[in-house]
Structure 1
Amino acid sequence: MDLDIKREEIKNRAFNESFAIISFKLDGTIKNANEKFLSLFGYKLEEIKNKHHKILCDEDFTNSVEYRKFWYELSTGKLNSGEFKRVKKDGTSIYLQATYKPLINDNGQVFEILKFAQDITKNRLETQKYEIQLKAINKAHAVIEFDMDGNILKANKNFLNAMGYKLDEIKGKHHKIFCDKEYSQSKEYKNFWEKLNKGKFDTGKYLREGKNGKKVWIQATYTPILDLDKNPVKIIKFAQDITQFEIVKKDTLTGLYNREKLLMDIEQNKKNNLAVIDINSFFYINDFFGNDLANNLIKKASEELLTYLVKDCELYKININRFALLNCTFSKDKFLVLVKEINEQLKNTLIDLGIKKVRLNNTIGISFEHKSKLLSTAEIINKYAKDKNKSLLIYSESFNIEKEFEDNLWWTEKIRTALEEDRVIVYYQPIFNNFSKKIEKYEALVRIIDTDQTIISPFQFLDIAKKSRQYIEITKRVIQKSFENFKEKEFQFSINLTMEDILDDELQDYLFFKIEEYNIAKKLVVELVESEKITTYEPVFQFIDRLKALGCEIAIDDFGSGYSNFEYLVKIDADYVKIDGSIIKRILENTNSLEVVKSIVSFTKKMGIKTIAEFISNKELLEKVNELGIDYSQGFYIGKPQQDLQ
């Protein structure tokens, strides 16, 4: 019995040493408190005995409905347990983990309230500090959480705003939705997640992808959160969007801000006036005098433009030869007057590059459209102005330029799929020897078979193919298919090459490889398509020398079409001249056309160059070109282009 009493005393002492204990009457009056409780609150028992529980709480709480409810529920026997903020004698706050236990007699009536408490102030303050820090982090950083497989658990507002998503669009999806496909399939990406799964953090600068492919640069730390056994259970990423610091740069050549800064400034303004200014002379200087002088031209052009700036105008360099002038305060008329003045000044400006003085040939496109399409419309009208040989145009929907661009995109895709599906084919048009009266040659002409099996003429797609950088691939198909067709035939055949073809190293390598592969040089005639772009003959000479060394022959296509001159014939050392059909078809009724043809025939005979008349559409034309002494004829009267040889 003594042992049981002793054991009970030890338990009570341990309980009193571990817990702050206080008892209350049903009305909240304090009955008693142990030493631990009194010590925590700084009171002596006589200072609180028979006083109400209110002296341990702040006034706002004791006056609240919540406080009255608190005591009512205790008086009805309902236990209350949790964290409570209370007030010590000196007025400072104390946080308790406590249980208010109503004591019930044998009759089921509550006769006393007993409270057991532990001081958790230190832990609570640490938690508060952590919560404050977390709140500050959430306010200043983009935060996202992942499970250990990389699936998204949650993300804060900053993160969602930076990436352009709503939470329900990304929750449960894998981190790889923020990465480009190549990186997400790489060994580097696999190693990245293996490192995190080992509980190691990763920090650095990352390029990520937001919604709709938006590029976002972040400075981030991926932190594994460990459980009590130090195993990682989830990943928290703290990041800052540093995109504007990464993409907003000053051009090193001119000191002007770049395209990205322009876009940011446009977005901030309620109203915008924009002029896009291209210095077209850049490409001429770059081609003939090199990049250093071309860059010097742009630098001096920027200096010139800066002298024309007035208040509230900003100048940007947004491309290699392109500037942008932005204003957000002028009326449209006032801005237009300014830009027209700048345009006239630029036209009359000579830039001294040391070895040469160059006039600034420029094109300006102006837009007053909404900020969402301001830059795109200014650039669209700038390009349209170039195409129409205008120095300045203002964007208007009445130009219907977007429809033209949409058509171009439609044709670009049509050409791409035709190449992919091998629907780029070759037709062959016969060339008739006017003396032997036999078909001796064929010209290879490209066509596209549409998905509905109709044949598409090159006039519909070749210009778009050049603009969309698919022209070279089309030329390769013509080379491959025509060489394959004529490898076992005795006829000569010709293919057309433009300046784009000749100046393309890859195409040249392909052509000479195929000539050697098919051993077809003696049958091949290369028709050079005349162009105003022939501004330097050296690459052309070298190309022709290589062809002739192999045994190929050279023809000048469309001679007399606008860029022709006899000096060109001599320099090229042509074997054939194809007289342009627009001249040939008029020789029966137009004396001038007839005299032009006579001059060409006379000159070529003296030079030992054979002639081919194009566009022979009837018997009378054929007889006339025979009379003029033209060597060959080609046209629908001789034979239409067909996939099979006639």
Structure 2
Amino acid sequence: MYYSNKGIRWIIFASFLFLASLCGYVYYIYSHTYNDIMKDVDARLLNAAQSVKFILGEDYHNNITGPGHIDHKNYLLKSKQLSEFAMQLELEYVYAMILEEDQVYFSASSYTNDDIKNNKLTYFYDLYPEATESNIKAFYSTGPVFEHSEDQWGHFRSIFLPFQSADGRTYLTGADITITDLNEQLAASVTQAIITACFFFFIATLVGAFYIYLLKQNLTRDPTTGFANHIALERKIHQTPQLHMQLAIILVSDLEEIISFYGSHIGDTVMHKLLSRLDKLKSSECSLYRLSSNKIALLTTHINNTECVKQIENLNKNTPLLCDPFIYITLCAGIASGNKTLLIENARIAVEQAKRSRELVVFYSDAMNTIKHQYQHNIKIAKDVREAFNTSQVHAYFQPIVSTDGNEILMYEGLARIKMNNTLYEPDYFLSVVNRSRMDGQLTRIIFLDCVMRFRKTDLCWSMNLTAQDMLDPSLAAFFDDELKRYPTPQNITFELVETEAVANFNEVKSFITMVKRHGAKVFIDDFGTGYSNISNILKLEIDGVKIDSSLVSQIVKDEEVFLFIQHIASFAKKVGLTLIAEGVENKLVVDKLAQAGINYVQGYYFAEPAQTLAQVEQELSAKAS
């Protein structure tokens, strides 16, 4: 009886373990299959949406004024090209859209055979009333937007990809693929998973060992070419008893262009062909790996091996790698020798140097340690910046804008500073990390709120800088809209926009300027003279003032042409009612020359350095005056 009860318990435990494992395995297969299907779908959609722009042509969306922008015959020709393209990619539709007064219109669209039979072709400037919120938001996005949608044409997975025409209009290219058969594919996968799982658990030892072996193989193999991958490389380096080895990383410089033109399938074929050719040419003492989509590695225990250089020279000859279509490739390589623990990092630095300098082969040397130190320095800066944001150590420092005689303060500019461990960091130290970390909006909010706290209860005027990313961020625009409503004297606030960014994003910037000026705030163009320097374009933005860049101001004493240019701008600004400010004033000679040119207001270290309190600024101004 004891053994019987014990056996029953083991059967129950084994059954429970089997069912739990089966459920886990089925769930894994389900999610893995779903992700793979959707990843493939999204890749096809992205490729299609990018291609629509080239099918239509660069100037297709320029200067659209209404339905008569393109004649009926040319539109049908474009539709036919799009339809043939959609059919080749097995997509339902590819199209382009424009936005007019919050209404979405088609500017181009493919069609299906059913559309022809039912006379449901989409024509130029047809309204798309089923446009979703994601569809409309995509016009203000900086990257692709994916969504599931259902309308009169069916149930789709869609992509919207924003572009900008030459006249500044934002338009979308898009693609749809039907996904009604997704559940059927998943159900088939689940059924197969259950059968496989049952078989697996009934013969656990044999199948389990085989499964583990296959799993290890898959983890160390590139799925598209079958060659060993970066995991296999790292394992090989770790397991090799020798301490010193040589690693060459070969970069296919133009693979991304090949993929963007011919598609990812041809890109994978190119890499498979290249790897196969290298595999035949290499000696038995070399190991071959595919590191990433466009990088290959050759590992050898011989430190002074020149085999890699010879192979690259042979492959870089003017002969096609593929003949259908004709594909030519350009290779470069970085080679590192020495301590195996540093091989991969050093070889990567060398190949990046080869790519930048357009050299065939670059050998890693001690001279490149500065690049490695720069990487480490960037990591440290990123860590410091995150800590500064998390511990509220980002502050606004204030610098006055004064009259040339120093007797009048026009306004104070709020400038971002980080103060950590009694050390003050200026934007040159941290701004690139802030941009790369997508923390621009957070920094802008901090500086704005710091300025609001300092000036809300005063009648003083103040300004702050905004980037194009700030103005293109809908959430930040909504933030300013709400804050300006609550600020008692918004007419005392000035937003400074960089000239090149403002003109390059004209329509979006114009909308932002209209919003802030509706509240009474002012807008200046900053760094004038470094970019387009086209005053007519700037005036179309309806700005209130211009700040001349310090690079021009610093030359006014020695360069007569710069003096005449600034004098002309000052005269023009006076005629059209613009406030003109010269930045970066460092000495009395520059101040006098600016006053001679007709500049009334200046900003720079000659009068006062940025300070955390207004009292410090006023104290420094008084000291300079005396």
What TM-score results when the alignment is normalised by the length of structure 2? 0.52
Match of 1:168 in 2: none
Match of 1:557 in 2: 526
In structure 2, C-alpha distance between the alignment counterparts of 1:344 and 1:544, rounded to whole Å: 55
- Residue in structure 1 matching 2:596, options 590, 615, 627: 627
In structure 2, C-alpha distance between the alignment counterparts of 1:500 and 1:619, rounded to whole Å: 36
8 Å CA contact retained: 1:272, 1:328: yes
Match of 1:185 in 2: none
Q: 2:496 aligned with 1:523, yes or no?
A: no
Pair 267,600 (structure 1): closer, same or farther in 2 beyond 3 Å? farther
CA apart distance, 1:537: 4.0
In structure 2, C-alpha distance between the alignment counterparts of 1:502 and 1:622, rounded to whole Å: 33
8 Å CA contact retained: 1:616, 1:634: yes
In structure 2, C-alpha distance between the alignment counterparts of 1:463 and 1:469, rounded to whole Å: 10
In structure 1, C-alpha distance between the alignment counterparts of 2:571 and 2:436, rounded to whole Å: 38
Pair 464,537 (structure 1): closer, same or farther in 2 beyond 3 Å? same
Q: Which amino acid aligns with 1:444?
A: G
CA apart distance, 1:458: 2.2
Pair 220,281 (structure 1): closer, same or farther in 2 beyond 3 Å? closer
In structure 1, C-alpha distance between the alignment counterparts of 2:456 and 2:356, rounded to whole Å: 42
Match of 2:452 in 1: 483
User: Structure 1 or 2: larger strand share?
Assistant: 1
Q: 2:297 aligned with 1:323, yes or no?
A: no
Q: 2:381 aligned with 1:411, yes or no?
A: yes
CA apart distance, 1:275: 2.7
Structure 2 unmatched ranges of 5 or more: 1-11, 29-195, 199-207, 283-287, 619-626
- Residue in structure 2 matching 1:335, options 285, 294, 308: 308
Match of 1:274 in 2: 248
In structure 2, C-alpha distance between the alignment counterparts of 1:610 and 1:344, rounded to whole Å: 61
Q: Alpha-carbon deviations, 1:142-182, whole Å to 9, x = none?
A: xxxxxxxxxxxxxxxxxxxxxxxxxxxxxxxxxxxxxxxxx
8 Å CA contact retained: 1:272, 1:326: no
Q: Which amino acid aligns with 1:466?
A: N
Q: Which amino acid aligns with 1:311?
A: L
CA apart distance, 1:482: 1.4
Structure 2 counterparts to residues 238-637 of structure 1, below 5 A: 240=212, 244=216, 247=219, 260=231, 273-275=247-249, 277=251, 294=260, 296=262, 310-312=277-279, 316=290, 318=292, 323-328=294-299, 332-336=305-309, 338-339=311-312, 365-368=334-337, 372-381=341-350, 393-400=362-369, 401-434=371-404, 437-451=407-421, 453-518=422-487, 521-530=490-499, 537-561=506-530, 564-566=533-535, 568-570=537-539, 572-602=541-571, 604-605=573-574, 608-637=577-606
Pair 515,561 (structure 1): closer, same or farther in 2 beyond 3 Å? same
Equivalent residue of 1:311, what SS? helix
In structure 2, C-alpha distance between the alignment counterparts of 1:533 and 1:338, rounded to whole Å: 49
What TM-score results when the alignment is normalised by the length of structure 1? 0.51
Q: Alpha-carbon deviations, 1:404-429, whole Å to 9, x = none?
A: 22222222222222222211111011
In structure 1, C-alpha distance between the alignment counterparts of 2:476 and 2:254, rounded to whole Å: 27
Q: Which amino acid aligns with 2:429?
A: Q
Equivalent residue of 1:643, what SS? coil
8 Å CA contact retained: 1:367, 1:377: yes
8 Å CA contact retained: 2:563, 2:597: no
Match of 2:103 in 1: none
Pair 196,458 (structure 1): closer, same or farther in 2 beyond 3 Å? farther
Q: Alpha-carbon deviations, 1:227-275, whole Å to 9, x = none?
A: xxxxxxxxxx9994775466567577x9998655665677788865433
Q: Alpha-carbon deviations, 1:286-313, whole Å to 9, x = none?
A: xxxxxx9948566666666666663327
8 Å CA contact retained: 1:613, 1:634: yes
8 Å CA contact retained: 1:256, 1:317: no
8 Å CA contact retained: 1:281, 1:362: no
8 Å CA contact retained: 1:251, 1:317: no
Q: Pairwise CA RMSD of aligned residues?
A: 4.9
Q: Alpha-carbon deviations, 1:500-521, whole Å to 9, x = none?
A: 4334444444444433444664
Q: Which amino acid aligns with 2:297?
A: L
8 Å CA contact retained: 2:248, 2:333: no
Pair 613,422 (structure 1): closer, same or farther in 2 beyond 3 Å? same
In structure 1, C-alpha distance between the alignment counterparts of 2:523 and 2:360, rounded to whole Å: 39
8 Å CA contact retained: 2:412, 2:462: yes
Pair 526,298 (structure 1): closer, same or farther in 2 beyond 3 Å? farther
CA apart distance, 1:630: 2.0
Q: Which amino acid aligns with 1:576?
A: G
In structure 2, C-alpha distance between the alignment counterparts of 1:360 and 1:566, rounded to whole Å: 45
Match of 2:137 in 1: none
Pair 430,388 (structure 1): closer, same or farther in 2 beyond 3 Å? farther
Pair 527,389 (structure 1): closer, same or farther in 2 beyond 3 Å? farther
CA apart distance, 1:614: 0.8
In structure 1, C-alpha distance between the alignment counterparts of 2:581 and 2:330, rounded to whole Å: 39
Pair 460,335 (structure 1): closer, same or farther in 2 beyond 3 Å? same
In structure 2, C-alpha distance between the alignment counterparts of 1:478 and 1:540, rounded to whole Å: 20
Match of 2:611 in 1: 642
Pair 200,337 (structure 1): closer, same or farther in 2 beyond 3 Å? closer
CA apart distance, 1:531: 5.3
Q: Which has the higher contact order (CA 8 A, sep 6+)?
A: 2
Pair 440,367 (structure 1): closer, same or farther in 2 beyond 3 Å? same
Q: Which amino acid aligns with 1:613?
A: A
8 Å CA contact retained: 1:525, 1:554: yes
In structure 1, C-alpha distance between the alignment counterparts of 2:254 and 2:534, rounded to whole Å: 27
